[in-house]
Amino acid sequence: MSAIENKSSNTPTQNSAQQLSGERLVELYRIMVLSRYLDERVWLLNRQGKAAIAASAQGHEATQVACIEATDPSKDHYLIYYRQFTAMIALGTEPEEMLRGFLAKENDPMSAARQFPLHGAHPRVDLFNFSNVIATQLPQAAGVALADKLKGSDAVTIVYFGDGASSQGDTHEAMNFAGVHKLPVIFFCENNRYAISVPQSKQMGIDSLASRAAGYGFPGVQVDGTDVVAVHEATQAAVERARAGEGPTLIEASVERLLPHTTDDDHTRYRSAEDIAQMEERDPIKVLSELLKRRDLLTESEDEKIHAAAKKRVNIATDTVDAEPYPSVETMFDHITDGSGNGGAL
Amino acid sequence: MTEIVLREALKRGLEEALENDPSVFMMGEDIGEYGGAYAVTDGFLKKFGPDRIKDTPISEQAFLGAGIGAAAAGLRPIVEFMSISFTLVAFDQIVNMAANLRYMSGGQISVPMVIRAPTGAGVQLGATHSQSFETWLAEVPGMKVVCPSNPYDALGLMRSAIKDKNPVLVAEPALLYGAKGEVPDEYYEVEIGKADVTREGSDITLVSYGYGMRPTNDAADVLAERGVSAEVIDLRSLSPVDLEAVVNSVKKTNRAVVVDNARRKGGVMAELAADLQQQASEWLDGPVMRVGSVDVPWPYNRGLEREVLVDKDNVLDAVAEGYGL
Ligand SMILES: Cc1ncc(C[n+]2csc(CCOP(=O)(O)OP(=O)(O)O)c2C)c(N)n1
Ligand SMILES: [Mg+2]
């Protein structure tokens, strides 16, 4: 199998995949901006004591929208991890639905306020997220892909994880399993070079995670995760490969974690000032906005409108959800089992 | 005596060991630059260097297994889990290996390793991060398990745990890192396997450990206002457990309520209640009453979580139900 490929938007794709239209690029930008405002709002709600914890996607937005764009939400499966705020929005989750999770409201569609924000199962898309025990989602994804293979479906499973998760046994075992059975699964790593405070150099003895794919018998691709076009192309190639029955792909998208690990963290304790400062140039919203303007796809005033609309949308969602009720304690025993057994009740 | 918080007490015990014994070293996620998820190892990296304060990749199975190997090879590893919930990832290494190696090698191999892990719910971390697996590990032959409820015990138990020639789990109640208490300036240890009668009384025995001591002490206060004198026992060690101390108390009070902060089912107190029933039945005026958190996965929502967690009213209800007090 091939060694690592290095993709950037300057490299033409070898496949016949569709290029992103200017219109779609602007749409992706719109989603990213909405995600950014909502993400900032959640952080604020944490500071107000209303949201217990949040992990931000700031810095990961481009890679998340571009990857989803290359898939088919009407049939594909998504096993996301806790940082995939933007991916959730790209898959059609409304800001209200997101906030219900963060504020642990009764109508949280993912987990009925039983589990961390964004964790649980999506009511419309085939998406689930139980990733907060790191890397558990990877073997599960191999199983979802195995089910498609056995059923003869051409759906693809995309499983997301961080660089930190790559050190777990689950990750190795899942990739090995998927390689053996040539499963239609894409292992998508959002490498922000940190597992909380532990830098990549203390997590692995290699520079590129994608190079590990060779050991499992499938291709590994490294891509600039701030580059929407490059991520889209890389994912499209992996999706085609999986649908054609050729097996898994490992994609490593390099991104920046613009904020601390979670609302509980202060990254100035372990990141140098230079490391933090250099991230500004790699802010995906800035990168895409400049690209759109360079290509005359977006004017300054259109950009302002996108920002204003996002801000307004977030305000409306916040007001709505803030006023909604929390789950009542009478529901405490609901969903432990399907109702059989004693459901855990005493 | 100096007043410090429980986090400081743990830190002092670890720091002393690192200073005095070159074979002691630490491994865990984010224990270096970050100083540990609950800041127990804050400043250690600078003081002791990266060879002895090892930030690990996220690979609990690997670093716990490596701890076993290093301990068997003559070092004294102290391994930190970010949450006791994540010991599950390494359970095979802990339960099948660390605990059994001495027995399975006919006494040739010892594993003098300390496993540290924050335990317990109450900080809105949901079903996967709020467990109390000291209750499971206390059942495993070959393992010692301790869980302090105050700074004095935290330092004394940490000293004993590090000196011990067996694998010892130090379960650190996540809600108590900031709990204050007096600690002597001169050296002392707290023997593993010895409970502490923290309040003397004559009418009823209340037993708990770790964070469970909070609702238990609160209940004892309420009982005192009602003229009921409760004797309160902090087990401190869950394996071995100091059954004798509890039996002696029951001989005096003839009543017992045992309190788990963990889920009620299968907890440490289930075991204790059964033993009391067997060994103290002739002194008991009623059933040993068992209290614990509700048997559901820990919910994320704050209101639900509070409802699930054991509180003083649960303890008082059990006192009333079992003994009409
Ligand atoms: C099994 C397990 N060990 C440790 C943790 C604590 N933890 C939560 S997130 C995290 C870092 C994950 O880093 P990475 O995979 O790079 O994802 P990122 O947050 O950087 O996107 C750690 C160590 C956990 N949740 N589960
Ligand atoms: Mg990371």
With cut-offs at 50, 70 and 90, classify the pLDDT of residue A4.
low
Q: A131 alpha carbon to ligand 1 midpoint, in Å?
A: 9
B181 by Cβ neighbours in 10 Å (0-12 / 13-18 / 19+) ranks as buried
**Residue ranges of the alpha helices (H) in chain B?**
6-20, 44-48, 60-72, 91, 101-104, 134-137, 151-163, 213-225, 243-253, 268-279, 302-308, 312-323
With cut-offs at 50, 70 and 90, classify the pLDDT of residue A343.
low
Which chain A residues are within 8 Å of B177, Cβ to Cβ? none
Q: What is the CATH number of the domain that holds A225?
A: 3.40.50.970
CB A333 within 8 A of CB A343: yes
Q: Interface of chain A against chain B, CB under 8 Å?
A: 52-53, 104, 111, 113-116, 119, 130, 132-135, 164-165, 167-169, 195-198, 202-204, 269-270, 326-327, 329, 331-333, 336, 344-346
Query: Is B189 among the residues known to form the active site?
Result: no
Which chain A residues are within 8 Å of B32, Cβ to Cβ? 197-198
Asked, as a colleague might, if the bond just before B240 is cis with ω within 30 of 0, I would say yes
Distance in angstroms (rounded) separating the CA atoms of residues A6 and A207: 13
Among the partner residues A116, A203, A346, nearest to B57 by beta-carbon distance: A203
Q: What is the pLDDT of residue A338?
A: 85
A258 SS3 class? coil
A159 SS3 class? strand
Among the partner residues A114, A135, A344, nearest to B295 by beta-carbon distance: A344
Q: What is the pLDDT of residue A14?
A: 42
Closest CA to B55 of A10, A341, A282, A164: A164
Is A168 within 8 Å of B89 when comparing Cβ atoms?
A: yes
Residue A314 has pLDDT above 90, yes or no: yes
Domain with A309 in it:
5-331
What mean pLDDT is predicted for residues B288-310? Answer: 96
| Annotated catalytic residue, options B8, B29, B80, B129 | B129
Distance in angstroms (rounded) separating the CA atoms of residues B304 and A326: 9
Among the partner residues B58, B59, B308, nearest to A332 by beta-carbon distance: B308
Is A104 within 8 Å of B301 when comparing Cβ atoms?
A: yes
Which phi-psi region, left, alpha or beta, contains residue B320 (left: φ > 0; alpha: ψ -120 to 50)? alpha
Which chain A residues are within 8 Å of B313, Cβ to Cβ? none
**What are the pLDDT digits (tens) for A59-100?**
999 999 999 999 999 999 999 999 999 999 999 999 999 999
Residues with CB under 6 A from ligand 1: A 83, 132-134, 162-165, 190, 192, 194-196, 257, 261; B 29, 58, 60, 82, 86, 89
Which chain B residues are within 8 Å of A104, Cβ to Cβ? 124, 300-302
Return all residues near A332 (Cβ < 8 A) that are at least 6 apart.
B294, B296, B299, B304, B307, B308
Q: B57 alpha carbon to ligand 1 midpoint, in Å?
A: 10
Query: Is A81 among the residues known to form the active site?
Result: no
Q: What is the pLDDT of residue A341?
A: 74
**What are the pLDDT digits (tens) for B232-257?**
999 999 999 999 999 999 999 999 99
B149 by Cβ neighbours in 10 Å (0-12 / 13-18 / 19+) ranks as buried
Query: Angle between the A284-294 and A61-69 helix axes, to the nearest 10 degrees?
Result: 60
Residues in chain A: 346
What mean pLDDT is predicted for residues B189-210? Answer: 98
Cβ neighbours around B117 below 10 Å, total: 23
Q: Which ligand approaches the C-alpha of residue A194 most closely?
A: 2
| Annotated catalytic residue, options A270, A282, A307, A313 | A270
Is B300 within 8 Å of A164 when comparing Cβ atoms?
A: no
For domain B2-183, give the CATH number: 3.40.50.970
Distance in angstroms (rounded) separating the CA atoms of residues B127 and B276: 31
Distance in angstroms (rounded) separating the CA atoms of residues B88 and B181: 32
Q: A83 alpha carbon to ligand 2 midpoint, in Å?
A: 10
Which chain A residues are within 8 Å of B263, Cβ to Cβ? none
Would you call B43 an interface residue with chain A, using a CB distance cutoff of 8 Å? Answer: no
Residues in chain B: 325
B171 SS3 class? strand
**What are the pLDDT digits (tens) for A165-191?**
999 999 999 999 999 999 999 999 999
Is B58 within 8 Å of A345 when comparing Cβ atoms?
A: no
Distance in angstroms (rounded) separating the CA atoms of residues A267 and A196: 8
With cut-offs at 50, 70 and 90, classify the pLDDT of residue A7.
low
Q: Which ligand approaches the C-alpha of residue A83 most closely?
A: 1
Q: A196 alpha carbon to ligand 1 midpoint, in Å?
A: 7
Residue of higher predicted confidence among B267 and A35: A35
The encoded tokens of residue B53 equal 């304060």
Question: How is residue B93 annotated by DSSP?
Answer: I
With cut-offs at 50, 70 and 90, classify the pLDDT of residue A13.
very low
Interface with B, mutate which of A81, A163, A170, A202 (most B CBs under 10 A): A202
Evaluate whether residue A337 is within a structural domain. no
**What are the pLDDT digits (tens) for B59-117?**
999 999 999 999 999 999 999 999 999 999 999 999 999 999 999 999 999 999 999 99
Question: Residue A336's closest chain B neighbor by CA?
Answer: B296
Percentage above 70 pLDDT, chain A: 94
C-alpha to C-alpha distances, B102 to B69, B111, B141, B142, B165, nearest whole angstrom: 13, 7, 11, 8, 10
A186 SS3 class? strand
Q: What is the pLDDT of residue A313?
A: 98
Query: Is A261 among the residues known to form the active site?
Result: yes
Q: What is the pLDDT of residue A1?
A: 35
Would you call B83 an interface residue with chain A, using a CB distance cutoff of 8 Å? Answer: no
Q: Right CATH number for B196-323 from 3.10.20.440, 3.40.50.920, 3.40.50.150, 3.40.50.720?
A: 3.40.50.920
**What are the pLDDT digits (tens) for A188-226?**
999 999 999 999 999 999 999 999 999 999 999 999 999
Q: What is the pLDDT of residue A11?
A: 42
Q: CA of B57 to nearest chain A CA: how many angstroms apart?
A: 5
The encoded tokens of residue A38 equal 């909502």
The encoded tokens of residue A163 equal 């660089």
Where in chain B are the domains?
2-183, 196-323
Return all residues near A12 (Cβ < 8 A) that are at least 6 apart.
none
Query: Angle between the A284-294 and A300-322 helix axes, to the nearest 10 degrees?
Result: 140
Amino acid at A5: E
Evaluate whether residue A123 is within a structural domain. yes
B2-183 against B196-323: fold identical:
yes
ipTM of the complex: 0.95
Mean of all residue pLDDT scores within chain A? 94
Q: CA of A159 to nearest chain B CA: how many angstroms apart?
A: 18
Distance in angstroms (rounded) separating the CA atoms of residues B151 and B180: 7
Which single residue is written with the structure tokens 């300036």? Answer: B185
Q: Looking at ligand 1, which atom is closest to the CA of residue A168?
A: 1
Is A346 within 8 Å of B264 when comparing Cβ atoms?
A: yes
Give the count of domains, chain A. Answer: 1
Distance in angstroms (rounded) separating the CA atoms of residues B7 and B179: 8
Distance in angstroms (rounded) separating the CA atoms of residues B225 and B221: 6
Q: Which ligand approaches the C-alpha of residue A135 most closely?
A: 1
Q: Looking at ligand 1, which atom is closest to the CA of residue B129?
A: 25
CB B83 within 8 A of CB B117: yes
B320 SS3 class? helix
Distance in angstroms (rounded) separating the CA atoms of residues A225 and B86: 30
Q: A279 alpha carbon to ligand 2 midpoint, in Å?
A: 14
Bridge partners, residue B237, by sequence = B146
C-alpha to C-alpha distances, B157 to B14, B50, B97, B162, nearest whole angstrom: 11, 26, 23, 9
The encoded tokens of residue B189 equal 């240890």
With cut-offs at 50, 70 and 90, classify the pLDDT of residue A346.
very low
